Structure 1
Amino acid sequence: MTGATTLDVPDLTPDGSGDARAPSLRRRIRRDCQAWIGRHLISLVIVLPLLAVVGAVHGIGMAAFPRFVDDPGTYLSQAWSLQYEHRLSPYSYFYDHAPAGWIQIAAWSALTNGFNRYDSAIAFGNECMLIAKVVSSALLFVLGRRLGFGRVAATGAALLFGLCPLALVYGRWTFLDNLVTPWLLLAFVLAYSPRRSIAAAVGATLAFGMAALTKETALVVLPAFAWALLQNLDRRNRAHLLVTSAFAGILLMALYPLMALFKGELLPGPGHNSLVGTAVWQLADRAASGSVLDPHSATADQLHGWLQYDRWLLLLGLAAIPVALLVRRLRPVALVLVIQWLVMVRGGYVPFMHVINLLPWSALLVAGAVSTVAGTQALVPTGWLRARASSGAAHGVRIGVAGLLALGLVGVATASWAPRLRQMTTVSQEQPLRSATTWLADNVARNKVVVVHDSIWTDLVHRYGFNPRPVMIYKLDSDPAVRDNLARIDYLVLPDWYYGTSEAPQKYPTLTEARKHAVEVASFGAGPDRVRIYRVSDHWRPSK
């Protein structure tokens, strides 16, 4: 038949949809995944057991050691409030920290029913910190590889961070800094992407933005991150990538002040908290901890306390800085650690969990310094040092010295860390605050007004249904909404480390006055960890 036209009939997929691209897309994804696994098989064989070891050491015994402290209970109560009340805090949110940290905790709880899977909110927080620790260790290995470390050195960096007793203590507490660590490491991992793509650059700035929104103190290392990003970009499209990635990061971080602006709480004013007002308090009005160079300062005392758990990783990281500064690729990472140490020198306020910001970078620089001494190709110092390192005799000497350094690190870790890790993973004594919670649930009517430590607030509200809700100790005098509406106090739950300080009467006048009209009815624990429960006289009323 003449004049007939040929019709294009689409290829049919097995399901008859007519889209032939789906099978080819699946094949392409499968092929790319197989290729990726093939390229990284050796690293995967190393990393998976490494993470199993780090996770086991971190997880075994984390319910019993270390003892409960203040901040974890605060963040978990805020995560609970966000999930169940759709509010950023069960009290007045006063912008002490950006909220992304407890938003992440609340999101994980919502996805996994977290607050209902455990008999304690702190136990759920422990799970979140375990995840952060394992992810951080994996990212530390990847970052080491992207910086030019061999697999042995990258593994060493991850193990130094994962098994350090000091990192174990502070890594188990539900601190925002522990959630900052994986985001910050991810930012550097993407900044050092070998592809140097726009996706990697934008991803790096978005990860850094998430770190800053998790805890705004991450902003202090912005110069080091910008240096790392700039160092790795292709000169041909550097300006384009910098503008695009910077815009993405700034846009993400702008969500925080925009939230405050939308709520009418950006600037100080009567009758409300404000972002700017709290920032001024944080930077200028908050009591300073002093410089670490002053042996009588609170910062020096904090450093002394950190070194009681372990002195090797912090001091070796400090000693590795000069070596790292000789290597171009390691300089931005060295700057991160330099900045974190300078925070302790400047004389401002230094929180006692600041050590979390030192540990991963110390581990990375120690491993990098050993690799540099060994003469790893990507880490050989530039200039005349590279020329001197090229001879065969020098190479043999470097390998020998690096081997001795590595053996020394293994010996130190075995001799110093093993006994401490054994203690931290075998403690079986129940937390005194957990015992106090059980006592309250068994002996106190749910309608009594109880003033409690932050760590058990969520359990008493969520698990035991106390109503009116318990009052956190520090909110008695710091939150006008609590102080002005408090008609009575029936019970006090006071850890000795909280109430037994010399500053307590000035910091907590209402608590001090209530204690004068109360009798002890229960006690748990001993020494500085002791927790006591007091029943307040029915005739006493808090003054307005």
Structure 2
Amino acid sequence: MTVTRPTATLPTGAVPAPRTVAHPVAKNPAPRFRFRTSRPDQLLCGALLMVILIVQGWNITRFPTFSDDEGTYLAQAWSVQQSMGLAHYTYWYDHPPVGWIQIALITWPASLIDPSTMTVATMRYAMLPISGISAVLLFVLARRLSLPRWAAGLGMALFGLSPLSVMLQREIFLDNVAVMWMLLAFCLAASPSRHLWHHFGAGLAAAVGVLSKETMLLVLPALLVTLWRHSHRDTRKYAVTGAVAACGLTGLGYPLYALLNSELFPGNGHVSLIDGIKYQMSRDGSGFILAKGTGSHAVLESWLYYDTVLPLGGLAGAVLLLGVLRWSVTARALAGPALAVATLALVVMRPTGYLPAMYVIQALPFLALIIAGAAASVTHTVLRRRRKADESTGLKATRWGLTLVLAAAAAAYVVPHWYESDRTALTADANAPYRAAAAWMRDAVPDPGGTRALVDDALWLDLVHAGYQPGDGAIWFYKADLDPAVAGTLPRGWRDIDYVVSSPTVRRDAVDLPTVRAALEHSAPVAVFGRGEDRIEIRRIAGGTR
């Protein structure tokens, strides 16, 4: 494209002579990253994806230890598959149901082929596609945030291969599903095409992420920052308005569902969304995260036990990007992820808040992005060329050498720590007691269909597939005290129960559950699997036969 300009000064009576001036923007338009057309990006991303899926999938049924939350979400997904409702017991609006509805869809084909595969161990494999999609989305997001290819690969590797990620992304958690949708929202918000429908799609994806796990609300301001930075100035107000409207209107579907079921407001004889929100907001706090002896500090120690690089390195990078380096190119590009990390970190610093172990899952992709961005920034600073044409070859070699030394030092620190933790994840068998207990309850009890057993949700589906009646025979131990519908089937309390499967979760929570505590006190072990605090006891209740 050329433009014509008249000469600055003209002699009297002279005719202006046009001259052409090359337009620099039109002549050299800035290239835009397109993953679907970039062969090198596809090859690098594909190679890393294979490694991530192998590491996360190897030994997935044996490590880490089954958690009660996994069993809860999978049992609720099973209930959806069986058209029994949104939960295997009364759905009381503890979480939005979109997360386990997606899990139900993912696990549905396998359950059709063999219904007995609907157990925590087998269905952990369903988390691999979610982990893989999330890893690819993180790579694409890194490239759209202007990180170089190698830095995007580094971020993807940090996200997928950190021992903390390997442990948590294997588990059937709603947080993993929500992270996938939120990464999609960020990718759409940072779309190089800047189409309005991309931004509307970002709002829709964000709403699905929040409805998968409500704590994703904390990340929405960071998404808005990313959307603002990457939308065109002329259409920004339409992009932001459309994204906010798409997110808000989709999210309103949840309270609308409660309203149509007459369960929005509290009342006698029914659950309500407002009661569920009140419960979540009023849960007993786990203490200040930096105070030793508190529950929150124990959770922090468990995170750092598996990996210190991702949590601490990412948090330090976020502080630098938002504070000291906020005007740098890298800081502007990573403003959204840095704000997400800062927001999530500030929330856990509350001394009165409750901190679940899976909370860090929401921060993992943003921590990985920040570390990768910091590495790219340092490398660029070391290797950048002077604008002078006479830069010496020796200086270039020195800078390359310094960069390689820094990279080798980082690898020397990270690789040994990650190797040991990932080797444990690939070889340890933490779930042998659960498998043995499930087999005993299946084979040693003469009449499963006429037996009542209190069990945690990690084993609930195992018992259902073994022939125990769901809800009446296999009873999730919480419900014996907290669900009036279940308590009504136990008029004699613990005397109406035959067995209690005493897992670490059952023993820990029995303190606040009178029926469960009495069942443990009036029972004797008939089989014990494992040792120490992780043991599982099959306890027969004296006089418990109906």
Q: TM-score, normalised by structure 1?
A: 0.86
The answer to whether 1:492 aligns with 2:500 is yes
CA deviation vs aligned residue, 1:463-482 (integer Å, no higher than 9, x gap): 53546331111112111111
**2:307 pairs with one of 305, 310, 313:** 310
Partner SS state of residue 139, structure 1? helix
**1:470 pairs with one of 469, 474, 497:** 474
Q: 1:79 to 1:483 in 2, by over 3 A?
A: same
Q: 1:148 touches 1:376 (CA, 8 Å); kept in 2? A: no
The answer for the alignment partner of 1:243 in structure 2 is 241
Provide the identity percentage.
38
Letter in 2 for 1:422: R
**1:533 pairs with one of 534, 538, 543:** 538
The answer for the alignment partner of 1:288 in structure 2 is 285
Any gaps of 5 or more consecutive residues in structure 2?
Answer: 1-32, 326-330
**1:361 pairs with one of 366, 373, 382:** 366
The answer for the alignment partner of 2:204 in structure 1 is 206
Q: After the TM superposition, which of the residue ranges 362-371 and 405-414 deviates more from structure 2?
A: 405-414
| Structure 1 residue 508 displacement after superposition | 1.6
Q: 1:437 touches 1:460 (CA, 8 Å); kept in 2? A: yes
Q: 1:375 touches 1:389 (CA, 8 Å); kept in 2? A: no
Distance 2:153 2:490 in 1: 55
Q: 1:427 to 1:225 in 2, by over 3 A?
A: same
The answer for the alignment partner of 1:252 in structure 2 is 250
**1:458 pairs with one of 461, 468, 482:** 461
Q: 1:68 to 1:115 in 2, by over 3 A?
A: farther
| Structure 1 residue 399 displacement after superposition | 5.9
Q: 1:373 touches 1:401 (CA, 8 Å); kept in 2? A: no
Distance 1:73 1:500 in 2: 17
The answer for the alignment partner of 1:518 in structure 2 is 523
| Structure 1 residue 375 displacement after superposition | 2.4
Q: 1:517 touches 1:540 (CA, 8 Å); kept in 2? A: no
The answer for the alignment partner of 2:16 in structure 1 is none
The answer for the alignment partner of 2:260 in structure 1 is 262
Letter in 2 for 1:342: L
The answer for the alignment partner of 1:273 in structure 2 is 271
Letter in 2 for 1:295: K
**1:329 pairs with one of 328, 333, 341:** 333
Q: 1:297 to 1:370 in 2, by over 3 A?
A: same
CA deviation vs aligned residue, 1:322-347 (integer Å, no higher than 9, x gap): 44333211111100011111111022
CA deviation vs aligned residue, 1:202-238 (integer Å, no higher than 9, x gap): 1111111111000000001111111111111101111
CA deviation vs aligned residue, 1:51-98 (integer Å, no higher than 9, x gap): 110000000011111111110000001000011024000111111101
Distance 1:461 1:136 in 2: 32
Distance 1:249 1:463 in 2: 43
CA deviation vs aligned residue, 1:92-130 (integer Å, no higher than 9, x gap): 111110111100011122344368276451134311221
Letter in 1 for 2:483: D
Q: 1:191 touches 1:204 (CA, 8 Å); kept in 2? A: yes
The answer for the alignment partner of 1:195 in structure 2 is 193
Q: 1:396 to 1:92 in 2, by over 3 A?
A: farther
The answer to whether 1:504 aligns with 2:510 is yes
Q: 1:451 touches 1:471 (CA, 8 Å); kept in 2? A: yes
Q: 1:108 touches 1:114 (CA, 8 Å); kept in 2? A: no
Q: After the TM superposition, which of the residue ranges 446-455 and 325-334 deviates more from structure 2?
A: 325-334
Partner SS state of residue 267, structure 2? coil
Distance 1:249 1:164 in 2: 31
Partner SS state of residue 528, structure 2? strand
Q: 2:285 touches 2:354 (CA, 8 Å); kept in 1? A: yes
Distance 1:137 1:52 in 2: 11
The answer for the alignment partner of 2:66 in structure 1 is 68
Aligned alpha-carbon RMSD (Å): 2.5
Q: 1:72 touches 1:125 (CA, 8 Å); kept in 2? A: no
Q: 2:52 touches 2:132 (CA, 8 Å); kept in 1? A: yes
The answer for the alignment partner of 1:416 in structure 2 is 417
Partner SS state of residue 82, structure 2? helix
Q: 1:398 to 1:118 in 2, by over 3 A?
A: farther
The answer for the alignment partner of 2:3 in structure 1 is none
The answer for the alignment partner of 2:142 in structure 1 is 144
CA deviation vs aligned residue, 1:6-29 (integer Å, no higher than 9, x gap): xxxxxxxxxxxxxxxxxxxxxxxx
Any gaps of 5 or more consecutive residues in structure 1?
Answer: 1-34, 381-385
Distance 2:229 2:149 in 1: 23
| Structure 1 residue 389 displacement after superposition | 8.3
Q: After the TM superposition, which of the residue ranges 392-401 and 480-489 deviates more from structure 2?
A: 392-401
The answer for the alignment partner of 2:43 in structure 1 is 45
Q: 1:402 to 1:206 in 2, by over 3 A?
A: farther
Distance 1:115 1:264 in 2: 37
Distance 1:409 1:538 in 2: 63
Q: 1:77 touches 1:458 (CA, 8 Å); kept in 2? A: yes
